[in-house]
Amino acid sequence: MANTELKSDNLFEMMKIHLATDAGKELTKKIGLVYQINIAPKKIGFDEVSYVVDLKKGEVTKGKYEGGKPDAIFSFKDDDFIKVATGKMHPQIAFMRGAMKIKGSLSAAQKFTPDIFPKPAKL
């Protein structure tokens, strides 16, 4: 396990598996957009790792989106992404505080809400 592990990796792993379940398939029906999420460990824009959450096909892949242009691209710091995905921070607030940067269609971005992501259970 490298030291460049991000906390967010866990969430994306869960998301990947989640999308294969029934609940996950519901998501693809409900949203049907492609998001690219760039996570930076310390500061937005530096050492970013990209994930593509494809809610059309229902898969999560690491790396930038190859099949065209994603509907929305987000940039977060690692910690902030966790906060938004687990509902600790509202996406609107994150945006207003600059903790979340958005590129692309704002309407697509607005559909990106905490309830998309499955929550991690506690050991």
Partner 1 sequence: MSTRELVTGGAACAVSGSSSSSSNPLGALANALIGSSSKTQERLKEIPNAAAATSHTQFYDDPVAALPGSELDHPFLQSNAQGSDFIRGFRTAHDNGLADAWDEIQRQPHLDRVYNAAPAPPIQPTLDGPPQRVLSSFLHSFVDSSRSGIPLHPTPLPLLGLSQGDKQCIRDRSSIMARHFFADKSEEFINSQVNALLSSLEIDSDSHAKGPMPGRFRELEDYWNESQGILKPGAHAADGWVTEFSQHRAQHGDPDAWAHSFEQQHGAGGWASEFEQNSKFLQFVSKMSRGELIIDDNQVKPASGSWATEYQQQFNGGASWADEFVHDEVSHGPAQWVNEFATEREQEPVDDQWVNEFSKLHVDDWTEEFGRQVGEGALGDSSSDNWATAYDEFLNEQVASKERSDASTGVYVFSDMNPYVGHPNPLKEGQELFRKGLLSEAVLALEAEVMKNPENAEGWRLLGITHAENDDDQQAIAAMMRAQEADPTNLEVLLALGVSHTNELEQAAALKYLYGWLRHHPKYGTLVLPELVDSLYYADVARLFNEAAQMSPEDADVHVVLGVLYNLSREYDKAIASFKTALKLQPNDYSLWNKLGATQANSVQSADAILAYQQALDLKPNYVRAWANMGISYANQGMYEDSIRYYVRALAMNPKADNAWQYLRISLSCASRNDMLEACDSRNLELLQKEFPL
**Count of residues of this chain found to bind partner 1 when the rule CB under 8 A is applied:** 43
Q: Find all residues with CB under 8 Å of 73, minimum gap 6, and list them.
A: 35, 36, 37, 38, 102, 103, 104
Site string for partner 1, 74-93 (x = CB under 8 A): --------x---xxxxx-xx
Nearest CA among 27, 47, 112, 119 for reference residue 82: 119
Classify residue 29 by burial, with Cβ atoms within 10 Å: 0-12, 13-18, 19+: exposed
Site for partner 1 contains 29 (CB under 8 A)? no
Site for partner 1 contains 5 (CB under 8 A)? yes
Site for partner 1 contains 66 (CB under 8 A)? no
Q: Which residues bind partner 1 (CB under 8 A)?
A: 1, 3, 5, 7, 9-10, 13-14, 17-18, 20-23, 26, 82, 86-90, 92-93, 95-98, 102-108, 110, 114-115, 118-123
